[in-house]
Homo-oligomer: A and B are copies of this chain.
Amino acid sequence: MLPAAFNATPTPSLLIDAQRLDANIQRLRIRLAHLGVPLRPHVKTAKCVEVARRAIADQPGGIVVSTLAEAQWFFERGFQDITYAVGIAPQRLPAAAVLIRQGCRLKLLLDAAEMAREVAESGRRLAVKFPVLLELDSDGERAGFEPRSEQLLECARILDESDGTELAGVLTHAGGSYNHAGRDHIVGIAERERTSAAESAAMLWQAGLPCPIVSVGSTPTAMFGQDFSGVTEVRAGVYMFNDLVMAALGVCTADDIALSVLTTVIGHQRAKGWILIDAGWMALSRDRGPPALSMNDGYGVVCDALSGKPLRDLIVSSANQEHGIVTSRGGDTSIADLAPLGSRLRILPIHACATAGMHDSYGVVDGGGEIVERWRRMRGW
């Protein structure tokens, strides 16, 4: 009586479409290879060894992480070249030193002379030389030094002169690229990201300082940037999965989204045109996308469970902790029969990082209606 697809799978459940994952990884790999710049995959989206291994194939092998716990977890699983791309807190330096002593090529990030002195002092005390990247704020929307600034130069000198630190380079992230739809707009943001980093590196070189790493990236700028000259690596993470934010930006289509949440229909309110599902915000996350994008996808786009294709214009328009309400964007109230009680649906995520963060593992599907593998996610700090 119940449809066969994923019938034995408990819901809600996080799924990866392996074909789409591979295609997404391949797309950016080929693009950046043509542009002649290596990719450093950000593993904060997937937090998964199997995904990260696919992403670093044919790349130099380095990854980016968003927490020191991720660095430790991936290092224990064979990843050695790790950039920890969130400003270091002083309390984490002893644990960072342990990783470095164990052979991890860990790079830290900071954006203040005061912190540079703290890291230098800790490095001397702990008898390690911390490789440090200087963060640049290329869009005025985040942490980081003003590109090409005197403060940047001063901090670089502190790091270069200390026995406890090693100046590893500069890093910037054009996170503002998530707020503006359209290829042309993002091309411009990518160029500003590139020049901020490349010109800051040039300033350091002119001052006689080293700057071996010139790191830029975000999925939109990696996918649309036209020129990466002066840059030594591009970082991106969401591109592996894609999501509805990336689709709204024009970076991908809904058919490129490799991540979804499998859910079961638990009820209807026929008069209102509602389908109730067992995926609420605990399974989908509360992420609605950047307000500037004015998305109209609610908490996710509803797909056929087997094909993973959007089902009419259905979205999860509201979400409680453990159930969601599916409606038609166009207001069609006769949708209940599309999804009988007990049937399965798949929900495309608004923001892959956030939706994946609500789950402990991925069920891997290969086009059929069954899970063929289960991949673990790490979590916590």
A322 to B92, CA, bound (A): 14
Interface positions, chain A 248-306, Cβ under 8 Å from B, are 264-269, 276, 278, 281-283, 285-288
Q: Which residues of B contact A91 (CB under 8 A)?
A: 2, 7, 10-11, 264, 342
A354 at the interface (CB under 8 A from B): yes
Q: Are A143 and B267 in contact (CB under 8 A)?
A: yes
A87 at the interface (CB under 8 A from B): yes
**Known A2-B90, A267-B111, A267-B115; contact A320-B142, beta-carbon cutoff 8 A:** yes
Q: Shortest CB–CB separation between residue A265 and chain B, in angstroms?
A: 8
Interface positions, chain A 163-199, Cβ under 8 Å from B, are 175
Q: Which residues of B contact A278 (CB under 8 A)?
A: 86-87, 89
Q: Which residues of B contact A365 (CB under 8 A)?
A: none
Q: Which residues of B contact A88 (CB under 8 A)?
A: 266
Among B114, B264, B267, B353, contact of A321 (Cβ-Cβ < 8 Å): B353
Instruction: Digitize A53-78: 1 where CB-to-B-CB distance is under 8 Å, 0 elsewhere.
Output: 00000000000001100000000000
A44 at the interface (CB under 8 A from B): yes
A residues neighboring B (CB under 8 Å): 2, 7, 10-13, 44, 66-67, 86-91, 110-112, 114-115, 118, 137, 142-143, 175, 264-269, 276, 278, 281-283, 285-288, 320-323, 325, 341-342, 353-354, 357-360, 379-381
Least CB separation from A88: chain B residue: B266
**Known A142-B320, A354-B286; contact A264-B11, beta-carbon cutoff 8 A:** no
Q: Are A143 and B11 in contact (CB under 8 A)?
A: no
A111 to B353, CA, bound (A): 34
Q: Are B342 and A90 in contact (CB under 8 A)?
A: yes
A10 to B68, CA, bound (A): 11
A10 to B135, CA, bound (A): 23
Q: Are B276 and A143 in contact (CB under 8 A)?
A: yes
24 contacts between A and B (CB under 8 A): A2-B90, A2-B91, A7-B91, A10-B91, A12-B381, A13-B381, A44-B322, A66-B321, A86-B322, A87-B266, A87-B267, A87-B276, A89-B264, A89-B266, A89-B278, A110-B267, A111-B267, A137-B269, A143-B266, A283-B381, A285-B286, A286-B286, A321-B353, A360-B379
A264 to B354, CA, bound (A): 22
Q: Shortest CB–CB separation between residue A74 and chain B, in angstroms?
A: 15
Q: Which residues of B contact A143 (CB under 8 A)?
A: 266-267, 269, 276, 323
Q: Shortest CB–CB separation between residue A238 and chain B, in angstroms?
A: 11
Among B86, B281, B323, contact of A87 (Cβ-Cβ < 8 Å): B323
A137 to B274, CA, bound (A): 13
Q: Which residues of B contact A379 (CB under 8 A)?
A: 360
A186 to B26, CA, bound (A): 55
Q: Are A66 and B115 in contact (CB under 8 A)?
A: no
Q: Which residues of B contact A341 (CB under 8 A)?
A: 90, 112, 114-115, 118
A269 to B266, CA, bound (A): 48
Cβ-closest 7 pairs across A and B: A286-B286, A87-B266, A90-B342, A66-B322, A89-B264, A286-B287, A87-B267
Among B269, B287, B342, contact of A89 (Cβ-Cβ < 8 Å): B342
Q: Shortest CB–CB separation between residue A175 and chain B, in angstroms?
A: 7
Q: Which residues of B contact A90 (CB under 8 A)?
A: 2, 341-342
Q: Which residues of B contact A380 (CB under 8 A)?
A: 359-360
Q: Shortest CB–CB separation between residue A362 and chain B, in angstroms?
A: 13
Q: Which residues of B contact A114 (CB under 8 A)?
A: 341
Q: Which residues of B contact A266 (CB under 8 A)?
A: 86-89, 143
A354 to B284, CA, bound (A): 12
A379 to B321, CA, bound (A): 13
